Structure 1
């Protein structure tokens, strides 16, 4: 499969394209990007880089001869104008329903703080209403330590509870790394402590078991992320069918059926990550590659 939604050439792939979750009129002057409207839903690409992000520090600390063109460009232009400055893969869904905006975040990785400073501020995103995790690798979950920064607050400036949707396997991994996020109340005698206000919601890696986050239904799309490891993508959209697949090396039959024209029906938008523009994957690959 090839990706069917790409940023216009010469723009930063991390955030510059907003695609409508629901079909809106398109402006030809924006080369396929939907018109930004306050009453419409949109997609904000917070990161489109690999697990280590770009530029790769190894290329800069020990440059080759000639230097790597991608990473050299990654430090030669400001990030907002740089197609080779990319953060950990993450998608923010600005879901507008009845003129009310809800922000749903898919994955919260190692570069989350920079994503907040750079793109939340730029797009005036005040908070996140729900978080969905694709898997438990560092590039998808290590930003959980900063989750309190984007949690909604009430009129007294108290942090409100935020739901996080994840599989039991991912939950078990996070519990080992972030035990303090599992606490539902402060320890006895610690009056200054504040329990993590997170509502952990277990989901299944099953296309037949959808769930609802902030009013929007999601269908889990299990895929292989290297043999022996299952990662989730998601199908969503009220009027348009959008499939988001960030870490995939092989499609499972049920998932392929759900997103194929010959199966459950034609997608309106497929967002598919691939790590290399050229090259051929092998049995040890954890991501798809694009071949010219």
Structure 2
């Protein structure tokens, strides 16, 4: 199983527009973060998690030539706003792109991209096939997917487990029943927005406590905001098995 971090930033990315803080001024590539998304690859199957505003740039940067499906964590724009560019894969693969999400996500996509779902579509519009996600395992190609439900304040969000890897973003709380699904992981990816308390995201301290409880072999922090601090400084504060993820990082398991 291969996981590529296409983006590791929060909703505004880093640098943030009009911000002059030291993180946003940093020339270290570790501090330059697109909106959060990952590519999961195993044998012949490639799955994308979320199509944020930077989707086109991410596909070009990593020279992605094929996608078998898109999995959505939730309906916020920093996770859905790039969907229109899926049409390039339609043309190349000659297939409707399967989209997987809970019903609230699919309803939101139908509103925001109504032209994709129109009875009479404009020529060249992206073609998608929607699949409603429930909180139960399913398979795409040769990849088994286990949804993990977390709460983003009061909004349900899906994380996903793929064999011995798990990816969770935009979490603030995780029920005990869902934590059970995260046992015996080699790799856990979990969000941490900043060090100060936040209503809908884990802080760094909360994420580290969560990692300690789950006890994966390795853990990576994603969905990072500019208030977290410089990559080089935060990296020194972390336990040996915990790392700040960065755009372009590739994990194999």
Match of 2:25 among 72, 95, 105: 72
The 3-state SS of whatever aligns with 1:52 is: coil
What is the Cα deviation at residue 256 of structure 1? 1.2
1:290 maps to 204
CA distance in 2: counterparts of 1:287 and 1:150, whole angstroms: 33
CA distance in 2: counterparts of 1:111 and 1:196, whole angstroms: 17
The 3-state SS of whatever aligns with 2:3 is: strand
CA distance in 1: counterparts of 2:126 and 2:54, whole angstroms: 21
> Is the contact between residue 137 and residue 144 of structure 2 (CA under 8 Å) also seen in structure 1?
yes
1:210 maps to 137
CA distance in 2: counterparts of 1:275 and 1:164, whole angstroms: 27
2:218 maps to none
Q: Kindly indicate whether structure 1 or structure 2 has the higher relative contact order, using CA contacts under 8 Å at least 6 residues apart.
A: 2
What is the Cα deviation at residue 110 of structure 1? 0.8
CA distance in 2: counterparts of 1:146 and 1:196, whole angstroms: 8
Are residue 91 (structure 1) and residue 8 (structure 2) matched?
no
5+ long unaligned stretches in structure 2: 206-236, 238-253
Are residue 173 (structure 1) and residue 87 (structure 2) matched?
no
> Is the contact between residue 163 and residue 198 of structure 1 (CA under 8 Å) also seen in structure 2?
yes
CA distance in 2: counterparts of 1:94 and 1:126, whole angstroms: 12
CA distance in 2: counterparts of 1:245 and 1:146, whole angstroms: 24
What is the Cα deviation at residue 164 of structure 1? 0.8
Are residue 200 (structure 1) and residue 127 (structure 2) matched?
no
2:168 maps to 245
Match of 1:54 among 6, 9, 14: 14
Q: Which structure has more strand as a fraction of its residues?
A: 2
Are residue 153 (structure 1) and residue 87 (structure 2) matched?
no
What is the Cα deviation at residue 246 of structure 1? 1.1
4+ residue segments displaced more than 6 Å = none
**Rg (Cα) greater in structure:** 1
Match of 1:268 among 173, 181, 186: 186
> Aligned pairs, how many?
206
With the length of structure 2 as denominator, give the TM-score of the two structures: 0.76
2:158 maps to 232
> Is the contact between residue 47 and residue 70 of structure 2 (CA under 8 Å) also seen in structure 1?
yes
Q: Which structure has more helix as a fraction of its residues?
A: 2
The 3-state SS of whatever aligns with 1:220 is: strand
RMSD across aligned positions (CA):
1.8
What is the Cα deviation at residue 45 of structure 1? 0.5
With the length of structure 1 as denominator, give the TM-score of the two structures: 0.66
